[in-house]
Chains A and B, each alone.
Chain A
Amino acid sequence: MSNRRHILNADAFDQLFDALRDAGYTTVGPTLHDGAIVYDALTCAADLPVGWIDVQEAGRYAVQDTGSGRYFDYTVGPHTWKRFLRPPREPLFEAIRSGAGVAFHAAAAPEETYALMGVRACDLAALGVLDAVLTGQTYVDTRYATRRSRAFVVAVQCARAGNTCFCVSMNTGPRASAGFDLALTELKDAGRHVFVVEVGSPRGATIAAALGLRDSTEEDWAAARAVSAATAANMGRQLDTTGLVSLLQQEAENPLWNDIAQRCLACANCTMVCPTCFCTTVEIDSDLEQTRASHTQVSDSCFHASFTQMHGGPPVRDTTSARYRQWLTHKLSTWHDQFGHSGCVGCGRCVTWCPVGIDLTAEAARLRASHEERA
Chain B
Amino acid sequence: MTTRLKLAVWKFASCDGCQLQILDCEDELLVLAEVVDIAYFKEATRHEDPGPYDLSLVEGSITTAHDAERIRQVRAQSRILVTIGACATSGGIQALKNFDDVAVYKSIVYATPAYVSSLATSTPIADHVTVDYAIPGCPIDKTMLLRFLSALLAGRKPDIPTHTACVACKHSGVACLMVRGIPCMGPVTRAGCDALCPKFARGCFGCFGPSETANVDALIAQWREMGVDEATIMRAFHTFQAWAPPFRQVGDVVKSQTSPSRGASQGQGRQGHD
Query: Which chain A residues have a beta carbon within 8 Å of chain B's beta carbons?
Result: 33-36, 38, 59-62, 77-79, 83, 88-89, 97, 262-269, 272-273, 283-290, 293, 298-299, 301, 303-306, 320, 352-357
Contact string against A for B residues 141-185, beta-carbon threshold 8 Å, 1 for contact and 0 otherwise: 000001101110110100100111011001101111011110010
What 3 A-B pairs come out closest when comparing CB atoms?
A272-B170, A36-B175, A355-B178
Cross-chain pair count, CB within 8 angstroms: 140
Contact across chains for A286 and B156 when beta carbons are under 8 A apart: yes
Contact across chains for A265 and B188 when beta carbons are under 8 A apart: yes
The smallest beta-carbon distance between B159 and chain A, in angstroms, is: 7
Q: What are 23 A-B pairs with beta-carbon distances under 8 A?
A: A34-B175, A36-B175, A59-B178, A78-B173, A78-B175, A88-B171, A263-B221, A266-B213, A267-B164, A273-B170, A285-B147, A286-B151, A288-B35, A288-B149, A289-B34, A289-B35, A290-B2, A290-B150, A293-B154, A304-B212, A306-B162, A353-B176, A353-B179
The smallest beta-carbon distance between B161 and chain A, in angstroms, is: 9
**Residues of the B chain whose Cβ atoms lie less than 8 Å from the Cβ of A97:** 1
Number of interface residues of B (CB under 8 A): 45
Q: How far is the CA of A38 from the CA of B171 in the complex (A)?
A: 13
- Looking at chain B's contact residues, the main secondary structure is helix
Contact across chains for A265 and B35 when beta carbons are under 8 A apart: no
Q: How far is the CA of A355 from the CA of B218 in the complex (A)?
A: 10
User: Given A266-B213, A293-B154, A301-B163, is A35 in contact with B171 using a C-beta cutoff of 8 Å?
Assistant: no
Indicate if B68 sits at the interface (CB-CB under 8 A): no
Contact across chains for A77 and B179 when beta carbons are under 8 A apart: no
Q: How far is the CA of A352 from the CA of B175 in the complex (A)?
A: 11
The smallest beta-carbon distance between B212 and chain A, in angstroms, is: 5
Contact across chains for A269 and B170 when beta carbons are under 8 A apart: yes
Indicate if B24 sits at the interface (CB-CB under 8 A): no
Q: How far is the CA of A266 from the CA of B170 in the complex (A)?
A: 14
Contact string against A for B residues 27-67, beta-carbon threshold 8 Å, 1 for contact and 0 otherwise: 01001101100000000000000000000000000000000
The smallest beta-carbon distance between B51 and chain A, in angstroms, is: 23
**Residues of the A chain whose Cβ atoms lie less than 8 Å from the Cβ of B174:** 34
